Structure 1
Amino acid sequence: MPSKRVICPERIRQIPAHFSWVDHRLVRERYLERCDACAAALYLFLVTVADAQGLSYYADATLARRLSMAPARLEMARSDLIRVGLIAWQGPIYQVLALDAPVPAPPLPHADVTTQLERLHAALGKRRA
């Protein structure tokens, strides 16, 4: 593994007094791969300007102008983010949503596994006969 080094030490990022964050799960759990670039740009803007509850009140005309998007393209980007579950929207309010926690599969009870194995063995035994 190559060693990492700071390229520009005078520009190391510091957490500002007013900050937002981007969850690594956007990449790890492939949320961003389910959106196009315009949706990702809208998401980045909303994450940046949202308050502590994830709320933002930017009007569509302002968002379209700030992101250099046609109104129809902004609507498509918003629909993508809603579909993927990254934002909620009730015009003019946007809410950046918490990412869903992965839901672990419930463990199978031992009896169910045993029963399934018995059925499988029985089915395989019948085929051989």
Structure 2
Amino acid sequence: MPRPEPPHPALTRSPTEPFGWLDARLLREDWLAQLGPDATALLTLLALAADRRGASFYGRERMGRALSLSRDRIDRALARLLELQLVAQRPWRPGHPDGVWQLLPLRAKSAPPRGGEPVRIADVVDRLRRER
């Protein structure tokens, strides 16, 4: 089945410099549902502000202004990103709340436990076709 045309094919966007990116697995593997809206917005902001190594130097106050979120909501969103190991932080100095934020590669999703039963290759192929 051919892919449908976008509404305005002449207006197709293309990456510019600098260009932030997010791993498509965030959507496909249900990471966004785990994050919630505030952490998703903050992850998007950090991706857009990041350098080529994934490092961003935005402080919490600037993050809050950019997203119209309170300091408490920013703190909770950052805690969620840290908990899920989507970002790492190195403070400017010990005990300082702000510093360098780095986007981390997504962890590989663990495979579901096997039941020990043999599986026919044809069954696996059929299942993969249905999942498309």
Pairing 1:26–2:33 present: no
User: How far apart, in 2, do the equivalents of 1:21 and 1:98 lie?
Assistant: 12
User: How far apart, in 1, do the equivalents of 2:83 and 2:109 lie?
Assistant: 17
TM-score, normalised relative to structure 2: 0.72
After superposing on structure 2, the runs of 4+ consecutive aligned residues of structure 1 that deviate more than 3 Å are: 102-105
- Please say which structure displays the higher CA radius of gyration: 1
Post-superposition Cα deviations, 1:18-60, rounded to whole Å, max 9, x if no partner, equal 2121111111222111111011000000011101111000111
Pairing 1:57–2:57 present: yes
Structure 1 residue runs of 5 or longer lacking an equivalent are: 108-112, 114-129
Counterparts in 2 of 1:3 and 1:54: CA distance versus 1, 3 Å: closer
1:83 CA drift (Å): 1.1
Contact 1:31–1:84 (Cα < 8 Å) also in 2? no
User: How far apart, in 1, do the equivalents of 2:12 and 2:3 lie?
Assistant: 17
More helix by share: 1
Q: How many aligned residue pairs are there?
A: 108
1:2 CA drift (Å): 7.9
Pairing 1:74–2:79 present: no
Structure 2 residue runs of 5 or longer lacking an equivalent are: 91-97, 117-132
Alignment correspondent of 2:15:
15
Alignment correspondent of 1:98:
105
Counterparts in 2 of 1:71 and 1:101: CA distance versus 1, 3 Å: same
The 3-state SS of whatever aligns with 1:69 is: coil
TM-score, normalised relative to structure 1: 0.73
Q: What do you get for the CA RMSD once the two structures are aligned?
A: 2.3
